[in-house]
Structure 1
């Protein structure tokens, strides 16, 4: 996916979450949230290994880290070595904690 498409998806997701929060009168996504979009090109020789890692890391992050609100990885259909990851954290401290975890450091 191109950067513009990822940004559009991120904005739609954020708008939907904000609308839902206003409708329910509660904040689903705190104002100090951090949204990160990572675009990664993986060496095709290591693609399956990386896909396994990113899947495990995402699963463990969502299960073990309360500050991880959303984590989703996407693979470009025409260029499978291109991976885009959308991450939403409750704040800077949650992101800093995430990058120190064993499942991320692996």
Structure 2
């Protein structure tokens, strides 16, 4: 009976290890190769139109482009014409492809005169593999 108990315990441990291995191998590693902050100032008279165009561009990029990992735009509460976009791309090539897509070019052309200032800041993530929930 003692041997049977050890066998059952050992079998349970083996099943647990196999299950954990399967879960780990199915987990995607979130490790962007290009992370950038885009800081913009928008003409206040065109802010509503700008937001619509930006929303359309972000939604298309996230839906269509697998190399675009994150495009997250935030507007400052006290300065609503100031925004920052957190951009994460799987690779440099994914970024290069992104800026050539029809939806990005449409956004860029349509907003050219709306953008008063643009600063592109390439960054180094503190924890590159950290997944945004």
Counterpart residue number, 2:30: 29
Deviation at 1:27, TM superposition (A): 4.9
Deviation at 1:40, TM superposition (A): 0.1
Counterpart residue number, 1:80: 80
What TM-score do you get using the length of structure 1 for normalisation?
A: 0.72
Higher relative contact order (CA 8 A, sep 6+): 2
Counterpart residue number, 1:48: 48
Alignment partners' CA distance in 2, 1:33 and 1:91: 5
What TM-score do you get using the length of structure 2 for normalisation?
A: 0.58
Structure 1 residue runs of 5 or longer lacking an equivalent are: 1-23
Task: Report SS of the residue matched to 1:28.
Answer: coil
Deviation at 1:33, TM superposition (A): 1.2
Task: Report SS of the residue matched to 1:86.
Answer: strand
Give me the CA root mean square deviation: 1.7
Deviating runs (4+, > 3 A) in structure 1?
24-27
- Cα displacement string for residues 23-49 of structure 1 (whole angstroms, at most 9, x for unaligned residues): x4655223x610010000000011111
Aligned length: 83
Considering only CA atoms, is the larger Rg found in Structure 1 or Structure 2?
2
Task: Report SS of the residue matched to 1:63.
Answer: helix
Task: Report SS of the residue matched to 2:69.
Answer: strand
Counterpart residue number, 1:65: 65
